[in-house]
Structure 1
Amino acid sequence: MKRLVALSLLLLPSPLAAQTAGPEALWNSFLAPPDDARPMVRWWWFGPAVTTHEIDREIRAMKAGGFGGFEVQPVYPLSPDSATLRNLPYLSDDFIAALRHAAQTGRAEGMRVDVTGGSGWPFGGPHIPVDQAAANVRLVRVSLAAGVGELTRPALGPGESLLSAMIGPEGVSAKADRPLAPLDVREDRVAVAPADQPREALFFIAGRTGQQVKRAAIGAEGYVLDHIDPAAVANHLRTVGDRLLEAFAGGPPPDAVFSDSLEAYGSSWTGDLPAEFRRRRGYDLIAHLPALFLDTPESAAVRYDWAETLSELVDARYLAPIDAWARSKGTRFRAQVYGFPPPTLSSNALVALPEGEGADWRSFTSTRWATSGAHLYDKPVVSSEVWTWLRSPSWAATPLDMKVEADRHFLQGVTQLVGHGWPYSPPEAGEPGWAFYAAAALNEHNPWFGVMPDVTRYLQRASFLLRQGEAANSVAIYLPIEDAFAAMRPEAASVNEAMHRRVRDALIAQVLDNGYGFDFVDAGALASRGIRHKALVLPSMERIDPAAYAAIARWVKAGGRVIAIEGLPSNAGGLRDDAGRARVQAVSRRLARSKGVVIVKEGALGPALRAAISPEVRTAAPAPALGFLHRRLADGDVYFVVNTGNVPLRTSARFAGDRGNGSWWDALHGTRRAAGRGDIAVDLAPYESRFLLFGGPARQPAAPSIAPLSAAARDWTLSIAGRPEQPLPKFGSWTADPALRHFSGTAVYRARLDLDPGDAGKCLALDFGAPAPAGAVSNQARPFAAIEAPIRDAAIVSVNGKPIGSVWAPPYRIDLSGLRVGRNAIEVAVSNTALNRLAGRARTDYRLLSARFGERFTAQDQDKIVAQPSGLLRAPTLVETGAGDCR
């Protein structure tokens, strides 16, 4: 691929960002990690109808919740203008003043401040004329009956042109042996020689998709830009990018400017594509346009050349220029580098901050695409869009749901979370206020927001520790991008979308279930960076880039191991690349004779890997729910270990890098204990996670044993919803009381606990009970906690009037080691979600909003707004957790 030379110029030395000050310094940083590891939120400005007072209040609420920053994204309005609410047109002076105020307040509060480089997504708006709008190439078929000698040329819209026209037999398809004849189409009416048989005229048109910016703010409506038109990109940077940065004049620039995924559906062309194609590929694309739409013998090769040209242009004309523009402005380009038109994995090298999305850690995702690019190109911070569809509808998500999905992003290598999201909501909106049409609503209007600082502290600790050292994945999986290029069609010009079919879940499962971490790799990375992994998996594939294949051959000669599925590649891809094809075939012949290469069926990949290299994690029994991520420090190894299932996970495992002094670090509670060596016990509650570190001292206490005590909290009372405190006859959902069915808020449970002198000094905890599984584990792409929790949905516990912590995730237990001998007062403040309140009212009527601004969104899953169980569902018990485990 011709991009390889350009990419190699961008590479930086590979720093080992490991701790050198010793394990105790790392532990102290883990307990109180730096602010830049805090999760961020995407801050939706609806309308935008914002005021400086509310901006200040919400920024301070974000900070109080433990978020480290925000990304301002102006989107569609949620209210017409009124006497007390005014939508500020996007990029107007009032809007820029509001953005300036948000930046100043954010900086004053020590927050990171990002801004989306447009309104909604993808980039575009009213400044994009039709001849800079997202472009496509399309085929229009016109039937011609037998004996007819004239037809009408299809109409063209503004910014469109006719590329070529041909005529052939009726229903001409890819496999037709009869050649197509050219048509002279200089006039609207086209004369043709009559024929005895029906025929079909094919018109190839350089058109416009007509796609409008999705979820646009007031004043931001318009065409999506052509991502591979330099004039369109320059126009957007000048009109929108430079204007946004005026809000930061006189102060620090934004920390990053963000580009969402390239969802320019149907984009497949640009005005000078024929000229660029000829320059890069060496022949005339116009003469071969039928091969893009029909399955001719040359189609795969022509499509390959066309798709590779598109990909090179999106790198050179969109990603690289915007990154350079951002650097020239003193900021950084954060981008989701995938979509339509088709970037490749190595395109992540072109942006300062790659970002992904997708929580399915056992499938191909754009998250793993981004983190793999970050690993390959030495970018220690890689973010992900998280909670995009969490527990839809909005307001249904719980703190545990947040953890469940975040952990699956961490398992893929993410080190920075950008949460979806924080809806701006003015006082006029009431409670719980505005929410995005999809995605979790994570602001302080959530009744359970009181535990958010503990949720974000967990996420901050995990993000911090996952930035240390370097990725230690043993296996690389080659992405068959070349085959995707060869199969690409104009209506779906995307690489990452095609990978779901070409890197199957069954292949990934065999890598993970046999104890290996992995990265994806592609031609650009292998040819320019080589291979750092111990084994390379080649999925079933026909084509491969010759330079990348030569790098693989050199690696195998030096001792690398390749496991090829079904066979080795036989083609290089392009129509005129006979020399490349010959090189690929020669390499395949050599590799087929190498002891470092084995060819297996997909179902035999796991045993082949184990025969080639040692696993990173070897469990005593199969445990598909056990997820892990391995990183190597300068003086040890660290594993992030997660039970992704909804039942307890108990096994033992051997870990690569075991130096005999393993230590479990708990990011949720800020505790550590000895893990032992060799066959290490892994005992995790549903959705529980821990870090396992090797290389430090082994002074921590051993694992606790849980034992019930005769002492108990008793005389429970309940105060809720303004009612006087009452004795609690039994535990259960407060929704059982019809008067409380639609109450969203906090209930306070109180009890007394009498501690005997003989129990003083023991490690005691209040245990709320084990969760029960609630059906199958949720869809991996939209995960949530599939359990019946004993607390719905989060609790803050106080002892003798002093808050001691929160409980919102398994194991539902909190340390009570601070009890005093004699009487103690226990208080458990339990909060639910906002769904119960919403279930008791009519759905929002957007009729007048849509009449004023058009229908810009559809609220998702409104039928799922039903009251949920709430409160303490079981009686808590007092347990002893074993000597030495007191926190």
Structure 2
Amino acid sequence: MRSKYLLLLFPILLFFGFQLLEKKAPASSDWPEITQSAKPWTRWWWMGNAVDEKNLSKLLETYHDAGLGGVEIAPIYGAKGYENRYIDFLSSDWLSMLDFTVSKAKTLGMGVDMTQGTGWPYGGPQVSVENAATRMVIQDYEKADGKALDTTILFQKKKESQPEAKLIAVMAYDKNNDATEITNYVDEDGNLNWNEKGDWQIKAIFLDKTGQMVKRAAPGGVGFTLDHFSESAVDSYNSYFEKAFAGKDYGFRSFYNDSFEVYGADFTANFFEEFKKRRGYELKEFLPYLESEESTEIVRRVKSDYRETINDLLLNNFTKNWTDWAHDQSKLTKNQAHGSPGNLLDLYAAVDIPECETFGSSYFLIPGLRRDSADIRNVDPDPIMLKFASSAAHLTGKNLVSSETFTWLGEHFKSSFSQMKPEVEQAFLAGVNHIFYHGVTYSPEDVAYPGWLFYASLNLTQQNSLWPHFKGFNEFIARSQAILQAGQADNELLVYWPVYDVWAEPKGKMEMITVHAVDEWLHPTEFYKQSKKLMESGYSLDFISDDMIAKSKVNKGLIQTSDKNSAKVLIIPETEFMPTETFRDILELAENGANVIFQTQPKTIPGYHSDQKSKENVFLQLWALIEFEDGKASVGKGQFFLSDDLGKTLEELGIYREKLVDTGLDFIRRKVADGTYYFLVNHSADAISQNISLNAKAGSLMAMDPLTGKRGTISSESTAVGTSVNINLKSGESIFLKTFDEKVELAIPAWPDYSKSTSTLDISKNWKLTFNQGQPKLPAPQTMETIKAWTNNGDSEANDFSGQASYSSEFDFTKSDGKHYLLTIDKVYESAKIWVNGEYAGNSWSIPYQLDVTEQLQNGKNTIKIEVANLMANSIRYLDRNKIEWRNYHEINFVNIDYKPFDASNWKTMPSGLDGKIQISEFE
């Protein structure tokens, strides 16, 4: 009987079991887990590889305590006078230090990456001349009708030490540029034994080596840079590391490759053969057009073919080849594609962790944010440049998007957390979620202040006067990245990047797609203008390449680029060149249900073809099959639109912008199982206090402050298109909102309303100042009738001081139940830790300088202590004024932001401490 009843019950139990499995996990009000990758990592400069176990252990513990999640080992040149500590790269001693580092990091819960080489770019003593970076050298000769060539065809060295270049081919061109190969008519002495009638332009093509050596190489890493276009050269390079690591897994996470920076490398030994195989014709016959800078059709087409071939070789022979090899070694790859001559999207997509770079200082409208023009490089970072890396990650289903962050943010020793915050927020808004600082230098305990420093780094080392306050900044990034690594990117648009338009630029030979030249290859394009306009209008988007389009499919009307990513529409901005194959792929997407918007009709196909007209006609005939009526055409299950008003067409499709941007807010979204995260940032000049509209519908809503980790429920109203919520963000503030798909009960307090205070107490009077620790010496304590900075008061020792000092005071206070109290400081130079009544209240280091002190305040007498950490600038000026030697390195030594010899002796005193009013305001 029992078995009979069990058989009867089994279908019922099975049904309810599946019902339980299908239920969503309960909504959570917790902050996502702060994982190792959520914490910020740093590039870790090993100067001269002069590392030892004692200092490695101590420094890793110091980094861990400051909130860093991992390090990226970057061997570099060394400090003079410490040569006896140097360790050759990949020697047994070096590998022992690597092993110790990884093991120690593991005990601390930290990760380790390593640069696969020293300095940059890839290269070293293992790179033979044959495998070194290669260039094409073309020597020109003129041959008159009936006369023998009066010079020999021999390679013309610019330096005696230059290796002998190999003659690849000799070509003769008539007045119409029709070509004849005459290589076989040149004897071993360089004599040309050929005398065809007519006047001829002779071009001798040599395979030459660039001669570039590894830049900033560490001991054991000096040598030629690698030929990235040669599969055999890359294989040889990788095998060198495979042999070094043979028999042991050192347990680091990934190999890292910096931006290309292989100067003048535009060729490889089998380039002509590869070109003909891929493009279908002999490039040698078209060299006059490759060398020309005239904006003619044939010049542009030949250059496009040349650059596409360079891209193919870089992508396949280096990037994909390298990643496959790394996977065989159980390692990931982390790569910067920018600076290379290839399609950035495809190069980023070919690795495990795409990495972009923030270089220079952005201008923000935030009042009070310091940006001294004398202390910044003449380069404005463009967040759209960062989106090439994040787009590649999103579209291929990769979660992490890293960034080399704060490269030359400002002059050495003058960069503050308040300047870093909007810069890193801008990176977050572009899709970055795995910050790497540039960087931290390994500096042993016995090296005097300021320790070893790298010439282009932010120099956030344990010697930095801001270091004791660094954890607060790192916690802000960790909390932010914990959310930005959760779920998937929530971007509704795909914008096609017409790389063939870039490759058709008539200027130059090899098009280097760099961060520093965006004014040339990016800003003038409709791709850039339309992308920027869409983003500023409130749309979320990613960029897509030809290859990514080919690999996409349609699922329920959405364009699915991977198992983890889909979008609502594909946008083709004004495009001159589009391959027929790409257009066919777009047609197939539409036939399967996709919506595609063309800003204009693509004009033609890229590249040179012997049957140019017939191939163009195929493309035009395909386009002609599309029957537009009022800018709209049905294509299979989907639609084509022809529209220069992208916003209007998107609205017709029911794809709505986030109107919250009209207030001045910037945003990015992440979709998770139970709702949507919004990251909202106010980089405008004004406070924003008003109702905003979210496109996501929210059953419940939660606010989350990445500065403090505090969370709170926030009231909202449903609207026809989403959710309405009241937001109060001062200039410089940011916040996360989480919309829950269902109405849920959250066991957290309501979010405070700081929009309007009911009363304010000024506590700016009667303060004492005590200097705690720092350089070059501790100044005498000070008393202040009204709080002010400790600099420029006639105390030279205070003017020279870099470190931490504490302001303290007492005040009477009446506290009301149910109220919230906000401590605000007009100016903090540069970071403040605050204690009220002996209880730590938190860290204030960004504009606006404010902190909720409700829990710490009491009725009656209250004490307050504010520890301030200032910049290193004043103490470095002291060293230079007193001619105390602190910079003495091999290679570039130490330079300023303009790459001139560094000298701080003429610097003005940087304000330090607190200034302006300190107030406590009461809020309902």
Provide the TM-score with structure 2 as the length reference: 0.82
Partner of 1:676: 716
Change (3 A) 1:683 1:177: farther
Change (3 A) 1:111 1:847: closer
Structure 1 residue 394 and structure 2 residue 396: aligned?
no
Partner of 2:602: 568
Tell me, in whole angstroms, the C-alpha distance in 2 between the residues paired with 1:52 and 1:362.
Answer: 39
Of 709-718 and 143-152, the range deviating more from structure 2: 143-152
User: What is the identity, as a one-letter code, of the residue corresponding to 2:729?
Assistant: L
Of 214-223 and 286-295, the range deviating more from structure 2: 286-295
3-state DSSP of counterpart to 1:220:
coil
Tell me, in whole angstroms, the C-alpha distance in 1 between the residues paired with 2:869 and 2:383.
Answer: 36
1:219: Cα distance to partner? Answer: 2.4
Partner of 1:819: 857
User: What is the identity, as a one-letter code, of the residue corresponding to 2:235?
Assistant: A
Which structure has the larger Rg over C-alpha atoms?
2
Change (3 A) 1:569 1:149: closer
1:646: Cα distance to partner? Answer: 4.8
Q: Is the 8 A contact 1:616 1:655 kept in 2?
A: no
Tell me, in whole angstroms, the C-alpha distance in 1 between the residues paired with 2:611 and 2:448.
Answer: 64
Structure 1 residue 188 and structure 2 residue 245: aligned?
no
Change (3 A) 1:841 1:618: same
Q: Is the 8 A contact 1:266 1:340 kept in 2?
A: no
Partner of 2:868: 830
Partner of 1:529: 552
Q: Is the 8 A contact 1:540 1:564 kept in 2?
A: yes
Tell me, in whole angstroms, the C-alpha distance in 2 between the residues paired with 1:298 and 1:845.
Answer: 62
Tell me, in whole angstroms, the C-alpha distance in 2 between the residues paired with 1:848 and 1:432.
Answer: 9
Change (3 A) 1:293 1:224: same
Question: Match for 2:529 among 491, 506, 516?
Answer: 506
Tell me, in whole angstroms, the C-alpha distance in 1 between the residues paired with 2:903 and 2:655.
Answer: 50
User: What is the identity, as a one-letter code, of the residue corresponding to 2:30?
Assistant: N
Change (3 A) 1:191 1:857: farther
1:344: Cα distance to partner? Answer: 4.1
Superposed, 1:643-722 pairs within 5 Å as 643-650=682-689, 652-659=691-698, 661-673=700-712, 674=714, 676-677=716-717, 678-695=723-740, 697=744, 700-701=750-751, 703-704=753-754, 705-710=756-761, 712=763, 715-720=766-771, 722=778
Partner of 2:113: 114
Structure 1 residue 633 and structure 2 residue 672: aligned?
yes
Partner of 2:801: 743
3-state DSSP of counterpart to 2:880:
coil
Partner of 2:263: 265
3-state DSSP of counterpart to 1:482:
helix
Structure 1 residue 206 and structure 2 residue 214: aligned?
no
1:796: Cα distance to partner? Answer: 0.4
Partner of 1:728: 784
User: What is the identity, as a one-letter code, of the residue corresponding to 2:869?
Assistant: S
Tell me, in whole angstroms, the C-alpha distance in 1 between the residues paired with 2:452 and 2:381.
Answer: 34
Tell me, in whole angstroms, the C-alpha distance in 2 between the residues paired with 1:664 and 1:88.
Answer: 51
Partner of 1:330: 330
Q: Is the 8 A contact 1:118 1:241 kept in 2?
A: no
Superposed, 1:433-472 pairs within 5 Å as 433-472=451-490
User: What is the identity, as a one-letter code, of the residue corresponding to 1:717?
Assistant: K
User: What is the identity, as a one-letter code, of the residue corresponding to 1:281?
Assistant: R
Deviations 1:682-724 (A, max 9, x none): 4322222111221164763452333433474753211126455
Structure 1 residue 319 and structure 2 residue 358: aligned?
no
1:71: Cα distance to partner? Answer: 0.6
3-state DSSP of counterpart to 2:431:
coil
1:338: Cα distance to partner? Answer: 3.9
Tell me, in whole angstroms, the C-alpha distance in 2 between the residues paired with 1:229 and 1:37.
Answer: 36
Tell me, in whole angstroms, the C-alpha distance in 2 between the residues paired with 1:133 and 1:860.
Answer: 31
Superposed, 1:171-186 pairs within 5 Å as 177=176, 179=178, 183=182, 184-186=185-187
Structure 1 residue 797 and structure 2 residue 834: aligned?
yes
1:48: Cα distance to partner? Answer: 2.0
Structure 1 residue 479 and structure 2 residue 497: aligned?
yes
1:668: Cα distance to partner? Answer: 1.1
> Percent identity, aligned pairs only?
26
Partner of 1:754: 812
1:489: Cα distance to partner? Answer: 7.1
Greater RCO, CA 8 A, separation 6+: 1
Q: Is the 8 A contact 2:764 2:787 kept in 1?
A: no
Tell me, in whole angstroms, the C-alpha distance in 2 between the residues paired with 1:611 and 1:550.
Answer: 25
Partner of 1:807: 844
Change (3 A) 1:235 1:341: farther
Deviations 1:80-104 (A, max 9, x none): 436xx62222223332222222222
1:352: Cα distance to partner? Answer: 1.9
Deviations 1:143-202 (A, max 9, x none): 679988412324165363223334558xxxxxx7454565543342446769998x7543
Tell me, in whole angstroms, the C-alpha distance in 2 between the residues paired with 1:179 and 1:275.
Answer: 20
Tell me, in whole angstroms, the C-alpha distance in 2 between the residues paired with 1:577 and 1:349.
Answer: 33
Tell me, in whole angstroms, the C-alpha distance in 2 between the residues paired with 1:763 and 1:331.
Answer: 50
Partner of 1:588: 623
Structure 1 residue 416 and structure 2 residue 438: aligned?
no
Q: How many residues align?
A: 822
Change (3 A) 1:577 1:822: farther
Deviations 1:746-772 (A, max 9, x none): 11100112233x535532222113xxx
Superposed, 1:532-611 pairs within 5 Å as 532-557=566-591, 560-575=594-609, 581-591=616-626, 593=628, 594-595=632-633, 596-600=639-643, 604-611=645-652
3-state DSSP of counterpart to 1:130:
coil
1:568: Cα distance to partner? Answer: 2.5
Change (3 A) 1:854 1:61: closer
Of 485-494 and 519-528, the range deviating more from structure 2: 485-494
Deviations 1:723-744 (A, max 9, x none): 5544212333222134121211
Change (3 A) 1:505 1:351: closer
Provide the TM-score with structure 1 as the length reference: 0.85
1:441: Cα distance to partner? Answer: 1.3
Tell me, in whole angstroms, the C-alpha distance in 2 between the residues paired with 1:437 and 1:668.
Answer: 30
Change (3 A) 1:559 1:399: same
1:297: Cα distance to partner? Answer: 5.0
Change (3 A) 1:847 1:298: farther
Structure 1 residue 340 and structure 2 residue 379: aligned?
no
Unaligned runs of 5+ in 2: 1-21, 157-161, 363-379, 554-558, 560-565, 634-638, 718-722, 772-776
Q: Is the 8 A contact 1:300 1:486 kept in 2?
A: yes
